[in-house]
Structure formats: C-alpha cells, structure tokens
Amino acid sequence: MRRLPAILAGRCPRCLQGRVWRGIFTMNENCPVCGLRFERESGYWTGAMVASYAIGIPVLGLIFLAVFLATRWDFLVVLVLADGLFFIAAPFVWRYSRIVWLHLDWLLDPVRS
Ligand SMILES: [Zn+2]
C-alpha cells in the first residue's frame, strides 16, 4: 500500500516517486523521474473537478463545524464565515484534486509505456 503515501506526498501515479507539482500553483508537465505526461489529453483535468468536489465539500464541512463549535454563532453567519475561510484551503483542495484524479485515472486506465 504505497499509493496512499504517494498521493499525500503529491507523487506520480506511475512511479510513485516524481513530484506532480513543482511550485504552489505550477505543475510539472512530465514526471521528473519516469517521464509520464500528466495531462494525457486536452480537457483531461475536467475529471479533477469531481475530485475537487469530493475533497472540497468535506473540507468545507470541517471548517464549518470547527467555526460553529468554537463560536456557537448563528448558522448563516457561520456558513458565510466558513465559506470565506474555505478560500485559504482552496489551493490545497485544487492541488490534491489533480493528484487524486491522476491516481484514480491511473488505477482505471494505466499508461505502461
Ligand atoms: Zn513517475
């Protein structure tokens, strides 16, 4: 079970070694270790939107819960505040949505060559 640590560390779905991201907002086009092209075709990252939703909703829920438990303010106030705080987490959700999508796609349709 080496895949989960590789996902958490943002590594390539094929070799589980090369970094997917080279900066906060910059991806490597190819894996620096095995050469796998990350964006397999145009529109490839559309699938990452589903992963983004699957990751973003629980993150927003946790932020909402944390703010609510800390303040006990009105539901609507907490929801607006949690939405605002979510923007801080958004880059991480975005990065991990692509990493999760890469690994999910790899498990369903691997590129061996
Ligand atoms: Zn690789």
Distance from the CA of 52 to the center of ligand 1, in angstroms? 22
Q: Cα of 50 to ligand 1 centre, how many Å?
A: 23
Q: What are phi and psi of 9, to 5 degrees?
A: -85, -5
| Per-residue pLDDT band at 112 (split at 50, 70, 90) | low
The rounded Å distance from CA 49 to ligand 1 centre is: 22
* pLDDT per position as a tens digit, 37-94: 999 999 999 999 999 999 999 999 999 999 999 999 999 999 999 999 999 999 999 9
Each residue of 8-38: pLDDT tens digit? 999 999 999 999 999 989 999 999 999 999 9
Per-residue pLDDT at 113 exceeds 90:
no
Joined together, the tokens standing for residue 8 give 């958490």
Predicted local confidence at residue 21, as pLDDT: 97
C-beta separation of 6 from 20 below 8 A: no
State in Å: Cα 26 to ligand 1 middle.
17
Place of tokens 């061996």: 112
CA of residue 37 to ligand 1 center, whole Å: 9
